[in-house]
Structure 1
Amino acid sequence: MSATYLFLPSGDRPFRWARVEDGALVEGEGVPAEPGDVIAVAPADAVALHWAELPSRSTAQATAAARLLVADASAEAVSDLHVAIGRADDKVGSPGDRPIGVVGVDAMRRWLVDLAQVGVDPVAIVPAPMLIPAPEQGYARAELGGQGIVRGPATGFADEARLTELLTGGVAPETLGRGDIAAALGRPGWTLDLRQGLFARRRRVGIDWRLVRRLGWYALAILLVTSSISLARLARYSFGADLLEARADTVAAQGLPRGSTVTDASRQLDERLAALRGPGQGFTATGAAAFAAIQSVPGSELTTLSFEPNGSLRLGITTATEASVTDLKSAIERAGFAVAAGTFQSAGGRVSGEFTVSPR
């Protein structure tokens, strides 16, 4: 059985249907007893059709672009409109142009409720003008579902006497015969389906429990293999860590005084290093920073030097000017040390005082 085209009610027009049987067009009112696959047909005066070049990489991008175009062309809020996009037909309009159908959200909901009440879940909802082929030039007219429709290369609308003349620019549409309409309805597919997004048809998915059990066993096997690999890696890392720790103890024993008992190699090495270099950062690092700073400030001299048990370094300093004292203090601080300045006095053209340099 061929697909049944069920024309949605509009105004005082009830449900009507059409079907191609043995190449002939058969029509009737109401809903047929055994409709088979149903393609619902939206009234031409309820759907606004546009054509535009839209992004082809993803449906989301194309829909977003279409909604922007519709927002500029419609007086209604775009949130109250359902926007559907179709596929491009290279024979229609400019190459790459895609049809855009715009209909009220409330109208879509009402149509689906009406269809559900008569026990129909349509495979698609197609605007009436999209059922007839677009002419290469001029306009084509057909009578379908009790309503006249007009189709142009990139237009589609309901046939109304005065409005049609304005939209066609006075060009009289060519009326299609029943044979042409039957050929159009018998062709497979359509370029625009309003059942998209929120109104997309819900598909029932059957559950293959044998496949589910098989996948469950596969998942369990994968989990066991993965766990075995993880356990093997953990054991390997543990053995490696023990080996590295033993090697570290051996190396540490070589850095400690001969005959020392190794209990905590890292701590014992730190203690010996602190004893060798002194507390804090040690005398060598602290003194080097202080000497480098004194050399960098012209006219600065070191008069006294004392390394304290707490790791601080006391310096007796003389400089040519008070500004040199500040420069010398800043130079030591830039080396990474804290500097506490004592009282500096000026005598005999020189400024003298003390700095206490300590690690930060």
Structure 2
Amino acid sequence: MSDTLLLLLPAVSDRADATACWWRVSGDAIVAEGADGDWRLQTLPLVALAPVAATRLDWPEPEGQTERQRLAIARANSVTQGMAEAATLHAVAGIVDDRLGVATVANGQVVEWLDWLTAHGGDPIAILPAGLLVPWSHGWTAASLGPEHIIAKGGLVAPDEPALRDALVEPGEEVALLASETVHQRLVWLARALPLNLRTGRFARRRLLLLDWRRLRELAALALLIPLLGLTIGLATLIRLDSASAALEAETARLTSAAIGQEVSAAAAAAALDTRIGATPGASGSPFPPLAALYQQLQPLTGVTAVSVAYRADGTLAASLAATRVEDVNRLLLGLQRLGYRVTATTRPGTGGQMIADLTLRSAE
């Protein structure tokens, strides 16, 4: 279990000041903490905690038949019931302590946090509401986390300020203060579980392109014919230049026959290859940029598999993909369009409950 650095985002984001409260989590314990700018010196996965005053937490009753429906409805309701325009809000939903929870924040606030973190060399894997530090309870519970003071009861989580406490807590009601040991336990839980991560959707962390060798081998095997045919054409052209050599003509015929799967003579090799790949005079372009773009978009989609890949002489890459969800195919198509490609796609039934998406990919230039 790797170490993690928890960082409490400041209430005011000053790009000239990197001071913030931080905790280093190792295993099941807090092994170091501070309230300074030294968090920038630690090369650990970073998890930021959003101040309570900037993030609204709700615990709605579930609506919908499936978990996906319940989460989607909870997010939509939280945005539409917000005090600002829906387009200016960002919401995430999930299961927290066996309850449906929703965190909502202004888009501008997330941008401000990310700008401050970037200015000081931070790129968090998650941004979590600090209000999750206090577990759901039927009674009033308070907790302190550096300069952050939290009070909560049931579905209400708010900053623990004197005037607000006086307005919320009825006379005679007790407020239980979380012990420092419990606070540390909750910090460890936040670092491991990453509940209600606000760094999703439009604010998702940019993924490094990590090679998935299983996926790479799959695409390489499907696209093997492209470089093989190109190499064979080159060899056939060079070999034909020396028609006097019977040995070279025999090699031309052998390579071409292996590439296209049928016996041909050396004299007919080039024509056979042209017929196989649909080559035309003046055709140009490399298959590798669109193939690399397709590979990049396929990599995070574990539910989508390439069935066939072919490159046409007019610069179009054609592919057939098997998928279990249309959403994954749509994500792939949008990703390719963002990279500057013109994409067309049609779907048809596949086997085993899957669908087949036949798409063409061509540079928009």
TM-score, normalization by structure 1: 0.53
Alpha-carbon contact 1:140-1:173 (below 8 Å) kept: yes
Q: Which residue of 2 aligns with 1:67?
A: 76
Alpha-carbon contact 1:16-1:31 (below 8 Å) kept: no
Structure 2, unpaired ranges of 5+:
230-256, 262-365
Shift of 1:121: 1.1
Alpha-carbon contact 1:44-1:149 (below 8 Å) kept: yes
Where 1:107 maps in the other structure, the secondary structure is: helix
CA displacement, residues 240-261 of structure 1 (integer Å, 9 cap, x when unaligned): xxxxxxxxxxxxxxxxxxxxxx
What is the letter of the counterpart of residue 162 of structure 2? A
What is the letter of the counterpart of residue 51 of structure 1? W
1:193 is matched with which residue: 172, 194, 197?
197
Greater Rg, structure 1 or structure 2? 1
- Aligned-partner Cα distance in 1 for 2:129–2:218: 45
- Aligned-partner Cα distance in 2 for 1:158–1:49: 12
Structure 1, unpaired ranges of 5+:
91-96, 229-360
- Aligned-partner Cα distance in 2 for 1:196–1:181: 26
CA displacement, residues 156-205 of structure 1 (integer Å, 9 cap, x when unaligned): 22111121233344533211222121122123314311112111222212
Q: Which residue of 2 aligns with 1:140?
A: 141
Where 2:181 maps in the other structure, the secondary structure is: helix
Percent sequence identity is: 28
In structure 2, relative to structure 1, the CA distance for the partners of 1:163 and 1:36 (3 Å cut) is same
CA displacement, residues 212-235 of structure 1 (integer Å, 9 cap, x when unaligned): 3663334557999xx98xxxxxxx
In structure 2, relative to structure 1, the CA distance for the partners of 1:196 and 1:167 (3 Å cut) is farther
Shift of 1:148: 0.6
Alpha-carbon contact 1:63-1:83 (below 8 Å) kept: no
In structure 2, relative to structure 1, the CA distance for the partners of 1:84 and 1:208 (3 Å cut) is closer
In structure 2, relative to structure 1, the CA distance for the partners of 1:89 and 1:176 (3 Å cut) is closer
- Aligned-partner Cα distance in 2 for 1:120–1:55: 38
Alpha-carbon contact 1:7-1:16 (below 8 Å) kept: yes
Shift of 1:117: 1.2
CA displacement, residues 320-340 of structure 1 (integer Å, 9 cap, x when unaligned): xxxxxxxxxxxxxxxxxxxxx
Alpha-carbon contact 1:165-1:172 (below 8 Å) kept: no
- Aligned-partner Cα distance in 2 for 1:75–1:44: 16
Where 1:9 maps in the other structure, the secondary structure is: coil
Q: Which residue of 1 aligns with 2:34?
A: 27
The reply to whether residue 82 of structure 1 matches residue 90 of structure 2 is yes
Shift of 1:133: 2.7
What is the letter of the counterpart of residue 182 of structure 1? H
Shift of 1:48: 1.1
Alpha-carbon contact 2:103-2:196 (below 8 Å) kept: yes
Shift of 1:51: 1.3
Where 1:206 maps in the other structure, the secondary structure is: coil
How many aligned positions are there? 220
Alpha-carbon contact 1:6-1:17 (below 8 Å) kept: yes
The reply to whether residue 101 of structure 1 matches residue 103 of structure 2 is yes
Q: Which residue of 2 aligns with 1:37?
A: 45
- Aligned-partner Cα distance in 2 for 1:152–1:111: 27
Q: Which residue of 1 aligns with 2:177?
A: 175
- Aligned-partner Cα distance in 1 for 2:31–2:208: 34
What is the letter of the counterpart of residue 108 of structure 1? V
- Aligned-partner Cα distance in 1 for 2:150–2:34: 17
In structure 2, relative to structure 1, the CA distance for the partners of 1:80 and 1:215 (3 Å cut) is closer
Alpha-carbon contact 2:51-2:129 (below 8 Å) kept: yes
- Aligned-partner Cα distance in 2 for 1:29–1:167: 33
What is the letter of the counterpart of residue 157 of structure 2? G
Shift of 1:7: 1.0
- Aligned-partner Cα distance in 2 for 1:209–1:88: 35
Where 1:203 maps in the other structure, the secondary structure is: coil
Alpha-carbon contact 1:56-1:62 (below 8 Å) kept: no
Shift of 1:59: 4.6
What is the letter of the counterpart of residue 156 of structure 1? V
- Aligned-partner Cα distance in 2 for 1:198–1:12: 21
- Aligned-partner Cα distance in 2 for 1:141–1:151: 6
Q: Which residue of 2 aligns with 1:154?
A: 155
Shift of 1:80: 1.0
Where 2:44 maps in the other structure, the secondary structure is: coil
Q: Which residue of 2 aligns with 1:118?
A: 120
In structure 2, relative to structure 1, the CA distance for the partners of 1:31 and 1:198 (3 Å cut) is farther
Q: Which residue of 2 aligns with 1:10?
A: 11
In structure 2, relative to structure 1, the CA distance for the partners of 1:60 and 1:111 (3 Å cut) is farther
Alpha-carbon contact 2:79-2:90 (below 8 Å) kept: no
Alpha-carbon contact 1:131-1:190 (below 8 Å) kept: no
- Aligned-partner Cα distance in 1 for 2:100–2:174: 25
